[in-house]
Structure 1
Amino acid sequence: MANNILPIFLFSFILSVALCSCSGDPTLRGKKYLDGWCVVNTGAPPDQLQAFLDYGCNEVDCSPILPGGACYEPNVLLAHSSWILDKFYREGGFCKEGLGYITPINPCKLYIVSLL
């Protein structure tokens, strides 16, 4: 059980840093206010996450997650995929089933939850 805590903590921390530094207050993001956040499902196949990221960046401006962008770090697929999933959720009102899920927990606070 203790061996499972470190990966969960590290993922939660990386995700929280990525989303917090880029998203800010949910009432200020996107065109509408939606409850919760769309975050990546860690069990989603990496090739499907990459395909959705590629698709999404052909549809919207992904400069924040490109080198030099405000949300580029951490440069990991899970963080960038969470960014694009939440971008589509904020602007289009959907969270891609199978790749992401909606959580009522602010991703900026996920690392606190994983410490408990």
Structure 2
Amino acid sequence: MQFIIHIISLFVFFELLLHLDFTAMSAMLKLSFVFFVLTIALFECFTTSTEAREVKNENGREANDRKWCIAKPSTSDAQLEMNVQYVCQQGYYKISCSVIQPGGSCYIPSNKVSSASMVMNLFFQQDGQTANACYFNGSGLLVYENPTVGSCNYPPQ
């Protein structure tokens, strides 16, 4: 419904533009008016494009009902290591990082993204699945499909 209101608003602004007599206006006033209308139009487009929408996965469920936090594959090794250290050494949630250590179900020493993703998700789940809990200096990525691979099971919500 809000999208329709935005479209109608844009239509009204452009109709005003078409019916105004610009010959009697000074050049500066014309430019100011056009800039104002374009600003409103861009604002309307921006607010429309950022509205929350219901997203469904292939099972027809709302995508937002289960979330996981993983590391972006492009994250540097240094940032991945900082993420692991942050999660494993903070004391508030007492997250066990044994799953990414030798003998753990997610121990893959050659895949730092996988190890970091597991502990980042543990932190994200423990912290209530807030957007900030998956930020990790911009290296976190929210996903709506379970990233479990093999015996490395990601706990759901």
TM-score (norm 1): 0.57
- Displacement of 1:75 in angstroms is 4.3
Task: Tell me the amino acid that sits aligned with residue 69 of structure 2.
Answer: C
Q: Does 1:48 align with 2:79?
A: yes
Structure 1 unmatched ranges of 5 or more = 1-33, 110-116
Q: 1:106 aligns with which of 140, 146, 151?
A: 146
Determine if the alignment matches structure 1 residue 95 to structure 2 residue 134: yes
**2:120 is the counterpart of 1:81:** no
Amino acid at match of 1:95: C
**1:72 match:** 107
The code of the aligned residue for 1:96 comes to Y
Mapped to 2, the partners of 1:91 and 1:75 lie a distance apart of: 26
Unaligned runs of 5+ in 2: 1-64, 150-157
Q: 1:58 aligns with which of 68, 89, 94?
A: 89
Q: How many residues align?
A: 76
| 4+ runs deviating over 2 angstroms | none
Contact 1:85–1:96, Cα closer than 8 Å, also in 2: no
- 2:43 maps to none
Which structure: larger Rg?
2
Deviation at 1:96, TM superposition (A): 2.1
Give the aligned CA root-mean-square deviation in angstroms. Answer: 2.0
Give % identity: 29
Structure possessing the higher relative contact order (Cα contacts under 8 Å, 6 or more residues apart) = 1
